[in-house]
Chains A and B, each alone.
Chain A
Amino acid sequence: MWSLENITKSVDSWLNLQFSPTIAFLIEAVIIMVLVIGLFAFLGLVLVYMERKVSSFMQIRLGPNRVGPMGIFQTAADTLKLIVKEGFTPNNVDKFLFNLAPFIVMVVAMVVLAPFAFSKGFQIWDVNVGIFFITAVSSLGVIGILTAGWSSNNKYSLLGAMRSGAQIVSYELSAGLTILVIVMLTGSLRISDIINAQADGWWIFKGHIPAIIAFVIYIIAATAETNRAPFDMAEAESELTAGFHTEYSGMKFALFFLAEYANVFIVCAIGATLFLGGWMPLHFGENNWFNTIMDYIPGIVWFFGKAFFLIFVIMWFRWTFPRLRIDQLLNLEWKYLLPISLFNLLLATVIAITGWHF
């Protein structure tokens, strides 16, 4: 049967047959690079358009509708505009750090993709500490943000970066604790094991109450970690213009922007993998007609469907909740989410040990 797993396997064996192992490896590396860069370009174009269309839908207006049918070329036009703008370095900035910061956020956003399972067997690196790798690498992104804010020699940037740093490190704790719930239920850190454990039902359905609490906390923490409204203190445009990237322009700004949207996709993809079964199709009960129909939909469609559903939920938050003040934001994390997720972890331990999950 046609599947991405078979394609990758046959490409791999064909390359190893035709060329020496080193050259085959290099060709595969180039293929991976092209695919990942393509994914990033796709995410940048689609998510910005989606954000604007969802916003306009929520506010009962039209949104972009001039460039192409339904305005679908709007983001392409925006990219073209950003290319011809000057990537300007102001006076008195720390030039080295200022130019390094966009690279840090881009590298972090791309490296974190390594253990992601896009479909069955369609994974760059199925490492045995997959989910730990993801949390470890994605927490490095805050270094890029702090570097950008500090080196900009601008008070708005500094304030934005500090707020963003405090917020990201705080919410990382509850995100990590909710991830632990799923790790405990599965008993493995490997992404493919986590997904295979959900073959007979996604963790949100069969994980009992702890999995549902963990999912809700994870979505809140993911919204905060990507600096999105209602947690967008870091770039509250009415007070800090643009937060940590106030001084950036042109393509450097575009890199920050792209990394931001890529991070939205990444946190939603992690949520989809852990709680909604990754590329696993929706199944009810044993072999019935419903499951057979669902099996025909390819895994990559399921994966992107779930991820984009969570992205839609996060965009929905933006137009539902008012922005939080910095003290409210830290209170929410330290006085509510963190104790709740700690006790939720204990509850999940009981359920994992007694095997009460379905």
Chain B
Amino acid sequence: MGAASIIILAIAAIAFSVIALLISKLVLKAGTNEQKGEPYECGIPTKGPSWIQFNVGYYLFALIFLIFDVELIFLYPWAVVVKSVGWLALIEVVIFFFILFMGFLYAHKKGALKWQ
């Protein structure tokens, strides 16, 4: 089908969602009251805004993830040619992993992998 299949499937997904939402709009009978629009927090009135600062730990993990994810992308073309390149490919990836692993150990030593 070619690259057009991405567009076809995306259109299918959007059409499916829109039709589902439209059907539910058509059969809808809804009332309204004062409390209806409030955020759901188990019935207790909310205190303060919800767009707040959150734990910095998530950010640290996102940063380490970025390094490893880029490394993963570099490995895909390597993995395809491993068989034809032979032992040289292994030596190269061992060097690559060694550098990466030093960085990983550094992050570990700095406590970036510890949940705080």
Contacts and interface: CB of A to CB of B under 8 A. Distances in A.
A106 B17 contact: yes
Interface of B: 1-6, 8-17, 20-21, 23-25, 27-28, 30, 36-42, 46, 49-52, 54-55, 57-58, 61-62, 64-65, 68-69, 72, 75-76, 79-84, 86-87, 89-90, 93-94, 97, 101, 104, 108, 113-115
B3 A125 contact: yes
Nearest to A162: B58
A346 B76 CA distance: 14
A156 B108 CA distance: 30
Contacts of B49: 153
Contact of A154 (B3, B41, B64, B94): B41
Chain A binding surface, main DSSP class = helix
A173 B69 CA distance: 7
A155 B10 CA distance: 31
B3, B58, B79: residue with the most chain A Cβ atoms closer than 10 Å = B79
A350 B9 contact: no
A255 B113 contact: no
Contact of A184 (B20, B46, B58, B79): B79
Interface string A166-204: 100110110011001001100111000000000000000
B62 A107 contact: no
Contact of A346 (B30, B83, B94): B94
Nearest to B97: A342
Nearest to A90: B37
B13 A103 contact: yes
A166 B62 contact: yes
Contact of B61 (A114, A246, A330): A330
A241 B42 contact: yes
B83 A352 contact: yes
B7 to A, nearest CB: 9
Contacts of B114: 327
B69 A172 contact: yes
A302 B64 CA distance: 39
Nearest to B30: A86
A334 interface: yes
B82 to A, nearest CB: 5
A180 B81 CA distance: 12
Most-contacted residue by chain A among B11, B37, B50, B86 (CB, 10 A):
B50
Interface string A323-356: 0001100110011001100100110011011000
A173 B50 contact: no
Contact of A37 (B16, B30, B94): B16
A109 B82 CA distance: 31
